[in-house]
Amino acid sequence: MFPPERVLFLDGEALVIDKPAGLAVHPGPATRESLENWLDDLRFGFRRRPAPVHRLDRDTSGCLLLARNPKALKRFAAAFEAGEVEKTYLAVLAAVPAARAGRIELPLAKVSSREQGWRMVVREDGKPAATGWELLAEAGGRALVRFRPETGRTHQIRVHAASGIGIPIAGDPVYGDGKGPMLLHAHTLRVARAGKAAIEATAPPPPAFVETGFGDGGL
């Protein structure tokens, strides 16, 4: 059974869950378990299973929006595509940046090799990507940062932290040293709706953040 405390928002057309780190949104050849295994638990009386509107990386925790019918799925997906969804992420960086805040604007492209697999890189001919950020707290030589992505590119925050700020997210297995869990968390989500109250959810920082000494500090 999907843990009920991880359901952050529920109404007739939308569902927001607090996805745990380590759970993939979509099944794949290297994925033993994914959100697909839990969709029956998330019907909440509906005959139809909900469908993820967007995705989070397997090792990223936090707010994930699901639609409870096809019309809602189409509307929510269009809102994401148009950049109308407000999102914030929390991340623990592997060191403390010199600046207190900033905006990163670096285009991203996907590359792949047999040796390293695929990853996103900063490249002039890539897709435009922009991320705002602010330093919230410092502890143990690391920094707690809030990110506000303005676009939704794959691995955007992870690459913008490593290449834009110059410090990778702690534990990032692709753009950092991969030591320990990757400390990236989708903290808040807001989707405006015509004629209805907005979808709003906040996922509390997971235990891995608390163990770093940050917890809710600076939020």
Say how many C-beta atoms besides its own lie within 10 A of residue 116's C-beta.
9
In a domain, 113, yes or no: yes
Query: Average pLDDT for residues 59-76, to the nearest whole number?
Result: 98
Q: How many Å apart are CA 179 and CA 4, to the nearest integer?
A: 31
Q: Which CATH number do you get for residue 145?
A: 3.30.2350.10
In a domain, 140, yes or no: yes
In a domain, 24, yes or no: yes
pLDDT for 75 beyond 80: yes
In a domain, 216, yes or no: no
Name the band, by pLDDT with cuts 50, 70 and 90, for residue 27.
Answer: confident
pLDDT for 161 beyond 60: yes
Q: How many Å apart are CA 78 and CA 2, to the nearest integer?
A: 28
Are 151 and 128 spatial neighbours (Cβ–Cβ below 8 Å)?
A: yes
Domain span at 187: 4-210
C-alpha dihedral (186, 64, 191, 157), degrees to nearest 10: 40
In a domain, 219, yes or no: no
Query: Average pLDDT for residues 15-28, to the nearest whole number?
Result: 93
Q: How many domains does the chain have?
A: 1
Q: How many Å apart are CA 210 and CA 101, to the nearest integer?
A: 23
Are 33 and 19 spatial neighbours (Cβ–Cβ below 8 Å)?
A: no
**Residues annotated catalytic, as ranges:** 57
In a domain, 217, yes or no: no
Contacts of 120 (CB under 8 A, 6+ apart): 108, 109, 110, 111, 153, 154, 155, 156, 158, 159
Contacts of 63 (CB under 8 A, 6+ apart): 8, 16, 17, 18, 19, 87, 186, 187, 188, 189, 201, 202, 203
pLDDT on residue 53 = 98
In a domain, 91, yes or no: yes
pLDDT on residue 216 = 62
pLDDT for 38 beyond 90: yes
Two structure tokens written together for 56: 């989070």
pLDDT for 116 beyond 80: no
Query: Average pLDDT for residues 99-105, to the nearest whole number?
Result: 98
In a domain, 95, yes or no: yes
pLDDT for 217 beyond 80: no
